[in-house]
Amino acid sequence: MAARFETSVRTIYRDMQALSEAGVPVAGAPGTGYSLMEGYFLPPVSFTVEEAAALLVGADFVELRFDAEYGAKARRSREKIEAILPESVREETARVRSAIRLLNEGAGGIRAREKAVFEQLRQAILEKRRVRFRYAKKLPEADGNRLSEREADPYGLVLAQGAWMLVAFCGLRRDIRHFRLSRMSEFAVLEERFEFPPGFRLEDHRPADDRNVLVRALVDPDIADRVRERDNFYLEAFEPAGGDGRWLATFRVRRIEELVPWVLGWGAGVQVLEPESLRIRLREEIGKMRERY
């Protein structure tokens, strides 16, 4: 410790003595070193208003977007933090928090179902247990089916673009896949256990980018701001197209079908330039719509 903090051994002894006299349960053993009594936590010395607000808003977020168990722990943590804040800091923090609002868009609906699956998945990850569920893909397979039964080894949970995703080794595809919790049904935790791949770290995991289809489209100026705000997952670039005020949107997708609903949703405000296969697909869909109306 003296070498680590570039001080003398005598100073370390004095510091340990000062901690003990202050009531901190420091234990020392020859040949082992110093340690804190298990379960003991040093109380925070002080929080600025911004630090306290960040912690409390973080607790609000956990309560809103995680499962019931973690929601309860977040509430208790928030109460403990508020209890140790000086009154002036507590009042100012409450004022800052009142200017920030987190909305639970789907309370009682799909978000509630996600939370139930989230809680089971979290336990399955910690216990290294395999899971089974039915999964609805965004686009149908070649045989026209969207639903399939999967068994997977859950590696971690990721919040991406407002949606919870499971990162797992899929037994059907024999590879790591991402699954939206909102598309899972008939979820079950199995007795079988699994082991993480050697060296796997969720924070280092990056999915392979197989979006190889380039799509270019012109966007009318009166909807350009709204298109930019939507922040489509497949959007690569959004830049002025020329003197007529229109914008050029560039996308990369796996299949042209992934952009069909998006393009149709903007009506005549978006004009696809390429690929021709997407233009043909849009004409077919517009033809079907004309027949219905």
Per-residue tens of pLDDT for the chain, all 293 residues: 899 889 999 999 999 989 888 888 888 888 888 888 876 766 666 788 888 888 998 998 888 888 888 889 999 999 988 888 888 888 888 888 888 877 765 544 456 778 888 889 999 999 999 999 999 887 766 666 788 899 999 999 988 777 888 999 999 989 999 999 989 999 999 999 999 999 888 888 887 777 899 999 999 999 999 998 887 888 999 999 877 899 999 999 989 999 999 999 999 999 999 999 999 999 999 999 999 99
CB of 273 closer than 8 Å to CB of 214 = no
Residues 190-212: pLDDT tens digits?
A: 999 999 999 888 888 887 777 89
Does this model's pTM top 0.85? My answer is no
Q: CATH topology for 213-292?
A: Alpha-Beta Plaits (3.30.70)
DSSP state of 186: E
Would you tell me how many other CB atoms lie within 10 Å of the CB of residue 106?
Answer: 13
- CA 100 from chain centre, in angstroms, equals 20
**Is 213-292 the same fold as 110-204?**
no
Position 208 scores a pLDDT of 76
Return the domain boundaries, the chain: 1-42, 50-97, 110-204, 213-292
Given 3.30.200, 1.20.120, 2.30.30, 2.10.260, which CATH number is that of 110-204? 2.30.30
Q: What is the per-residue pLDDT across 132-164, written as a single tens digit (0 to 9) for each?
A: 999 988 776 666 678 889 999 999 998 877 788
Tens of pLDDT along 117-127?
A: 888 999 999 99
Q: What contacts 24+ positions apart, CB below 8 Å, involve 270-276? A: 270/217, 270/218, 270/219, 270/220, 270/223, 270/227, 271/217, 271/218, 272/215, 272/216, 272/217, 273/216, 273/217, 273/218, 274/214, 274/215, 274/216, 275/213, 275/214, 275/215
Q: What is the pLDDT of residue 108?
A: 47
